[in-house]
Structures are given as structure tokens and as C-alpha cells.
Structure 1
Amino acid sequence: MTTQGFTTCLWFDGEAEAAADYYLSVFKDGRILRTGRYTEAGPGPAGSVLVVEFEINGQRFVALNGGPEFHFTEAVSFQIHCSDEQEADYYYDTLTGDGGQESACGWVKDRFGLSWQVIPPGAIELISDEDPGRAARATAAMLRMKKLDVAEMRRAADAG
């Protein structure tokens, strides 16, 4: 394996360039690395975008205009470990805005259908508490939530 590690390839139906631009607007530490275009060999129209390689927070992605055959599912998602509640609110609100949607337990789908889990600080620690009763109560509270509310999870954990 090269020192570049892994690159995540995201399959789109003609929206690769718009998706890359969108993700760069959501995540401020990002850049376009390269845009590749179809040639006369096809299968897309010559000159149209085939791939956009981009980077967000040091993670490499390729947005591929692969066609309508495949779609995103919740079976794969990206976790965003936030440094504070304000950052968690930003990502949750931004990713659900403009056609995105809420799911459960902090998961959201962005407007392209890609799933993300927005994790505020303290959430993982609560559901993995070394006291099984605290962890169970925090987890039970989390399972009733769409957007994670760490204060409510903490109250539930402490209620035992």
C-alpha cells in the first residue's frame, strides 16, 4: 500500500461536482485536488466531469459521476466527532438543511442521500460508561432521539 492510505469513492449520478462543492462548503478545511473529465472514448459526453478528487480534514474523497445504477444507503456513514455543542449544531443543521433529513441517534442524510452521524462531545463516553446501568440508561435515552442531546443522556444515565 502506498503512503496515501485509503480514498473514499462516492458514486453520484451527474452531481459529482456539485457534491464536492457542497462538502467543501460544509467542512471548512477542504480543497479540490483534481477534476477529471470524460474524453471522446466516453461513456459520458466528452468534456463533462467524470471525477472530482477532493480532501476534507485530511481525508481524501473521489466524487464519481458513475450513473444511476447505485445509491447511498445507511449501511455506510461518516461520523463527525464534534469538539463542542456549537459545532454539533452547525453540522446537524447544515447537513439536514437544503433537502437533507433527520434520522435517529444523531444520524442525518445530506441532500445527496449520504449518511452522517453527528456526535457531540460526551455522547460516546456516556453510552460506553464502565457502569453498565449508566450506559444502558444513556443508550435508552439516545435511542429515543433524533439529534443527540448529551445533557438529556447524562440526566438519564444519572437517574439510576
Structure 2
Amino acid sequence: MNNDIFPCLWYDGDAKESAEFYCNIFDGKITADTPVVMNVDLFGQKLMLLNGGPQFKKNASVSFMVICETEDEVQRYWDQLMEGGMALMALDSYSWSKKYGWLKDKYDVTWQLFLGEKQSDQKIIPTLMFFHENNGKAMEAMELYTKTFPNSKIGNILKYGEGSEGHPITEPAENIQHAHFEIDTYSFFCMDNSYDHQFDFNEGISMVVMTDDQEQTDKYWNTLTSDGGRESMCGWLKDKYGFSWQIVPKRLIKLMSDADQEKAGKVVQAMMKMQKIVIQDLEDAYNS
């Protein structure tokens, strides 16, 4: 399981409560517990929950598909996640799954519960929805992401023109109804959608990529911010589709975690002034 790539969910003070909620439902464990950052392990996968403030709200442009092995498992997760939540697609039998449902939980995280076979050992799969000006660009995005990262590939692709039995076709036939891809062995799903949703990609859900060195950091940063992407602060960026990434050198985490709090504090202060993270500048701050 590649835990150098993992989702980050944005919260306004309730990250710990949410972490406990998910660990209880999915039999997970909390692996980091600070006022700002909570890390959880669910099925061997890392998720980061960030108390960032009121600026951003999570939405269904990124949902989490949970691949379940039995109908009872689907039902159990559905019942617990629906506590204070709302159904987006009723839990029912569909052409693509004998038992499937899509819901938003009380923390605004959206989940797709799917009875089916796992394509890898990854049980929770982030699912990106391309709509508004991005509608029809899911294929292009998969190509960009798989070219940017090593050990990447595009897997099964179902287009609307191929898989709309029993459904009125409201999407262009070439658009992607469902596709699987991997970046550095980490699995994603994606889809195109022409519905006029009242939301879009934002910082509420981002992907963190931990890098080994400055060369890797520069490569990912420069590729993802090119051709319409945008740099933000503290290692955050938006790619050309508006999807948010955090490109984080592993060295930053090590320096910020130093037992010498004064040195660690200097590293944090230096990082706060950066857009792309520059490891040498962090080392200079640490040694100053």
C-alpha cells in the first residue's frame, strides 16, 4: 500500500470528532493526534484530517468509493455513515452493483458504497468528478496524472456510449462514465458529468504527495502548475482542472517534528512563507 500519497480532508475544528467517527465505523486507528492534524489508518490506508478553519467546505466533486465484499458490509457502513447524513443515491440494486448507495455524511464527506471486487488491495478509492468546464476532460486528466507520476497506469474505462443500458443517455457518448487509474500504485476512479452541480473542486479535499528530494518535488510541482495550474502557499497548488494537491518533501515533516522546538519552529516559519517547498531553505532555517 502506497502511503506516500493520501487524501487530506479540510475541517473547521471537528477533525478529531470525525476521525473517531470513521475509525469506529471502519475499525481504523488514529496515528497522529494534534490540534491541527489528525492522521487515521483505515484498512492500511492513510487519511489526513486538517483543522484548517471555515474557508473551505468539502463537496461531492471528490467522493470515496468503498469496495465491499458482502451485502451486509454495505448495509453496515451505510447505516452508520447515514447518522446525521443524507442519501444522494438510494441504497439499492443497480446494473453496476447488486447493492450500491451514495451518501453525504454529517461532516460533508461523500461516500459511495459498492458491492463488488477490489481491483487492488486498496479498499477506499478517491473518485474525481469532472463537470462544468471540466466535463469531458476526465481522460485528459488521467493522461496528465499518469505521465507525471512513476508506476502509474490507466486501467478499465467505461464510456457513456458503451454502458448506458436501461438509462437515458444524457452524456456525450465519448465521455467517461467510470474509469480506474493509478498514480505511483495508488488507485483512483474518475467520471465525467454534465449536471450543473452547485460546487466544484476546491481545497476541501486535496491529495498529499510525499516526495523524497527536491528533484521530485520540483518535477511534480512544475508539471501540475503548468498550463493553467496555480501555485498556492505551503506546498499547496491547483492543477489545470482546479484539483488541489499538496507536494510535501518528507524532509519537511522530519524537521518540523524535531525534538528541539525552537529549531522546529524556525522550520515552520520558513515553510509558511513558501509556495513550493524548498528543502535547502528549510535546512538553512533549521541551522540558523
Residue 136 of structure 1 pairs with residue 136 of structure 2: no
Please tell me whether the aligned partners of residues 104 and 145 of structure 1 are also in contact (alpha carbons under 8 angstroms).
yes
- 1:150 deviates by 1.7
Aligned equivalents of 2:209, 2:129: Cα separation in 1: 20
Which consecutive unaligned segments of at least 5 residues does structure 2 have?
1-67, 70-120
Amino acid at match of 1:101: R
Percent identity of paired positions between Structure 1 and Structure 2? 32
* Structure 1 residues 33 and 149: CA distance shift in structure 2, 3 A: same
After TM superposition, the score normalised by the length of structure 2 is 0.52
Among candidates 209, 221, 234, match of residue 80 of structure 1: 209
Amino acid at match of 1:19: A
Amino acid at match of 1:8: P
Aligned equivalents of 2:238, 2:159: Cα separation in 1: 28
Residue 30 of structure 1 pairs with residue 138 of structure 2: no
Aligned equivalents of 2:154, 2:272: Cα separation in 1: 37
Q: Which runs of 4+ in 1 moved over 3 A?
A: 1-4, 45-48
Match of 2:142 in 1: 20
Amino acid at match of 1:61: F
- 1:47 deviates by 5.1
- 1:158 deviates by 2.3
Match of 1:106 in 2: 235
Among candidates 55, 58, 66, match of residue 193 of structure 2: 66
- 1:46 deviates by 4.1
Aligned equivalents of 1:16, 1:150: Cα separation in 2: 33
Aligned equivalents of 1:47, 1:99: Cα separation in 2: 24
- 1:132 deviates by 1.2
* Structure 1 residues 20 and 141: CA distance shift in structure 2, 3 A: same
Among candidates 38, 44, 52, match of residue 171 of structure 2: 44
Please tell me whether the aligned partners of residues 30 and 54 of structure 1 are also in contact (alpha carbons under 8 angstroms).
yes
Which consecutive unaligned segments of at least 5 residues does structure 1 have?
none
Amino acid at match of 1:53: H
Determine which structure has the larger strand proportion and give its number: 2
Number of equivalenced pairs? 159
CA-based RMSD: 1.7
- 1:97 deviates by 0.9
- 1:108 deviates by 1.0
Aligned equivalents of 1:109, 1:154: Cα separation in 2: 26
Aligned equivalents of 1:48, 1:106: Cα separation in 2: 32
Aligned equivalents of 1:72, 1:61: Cα separation in 2: 15
- Does 1 or 2 have the higher relative contact order (CA < 8 Å, sep 6+)? 1
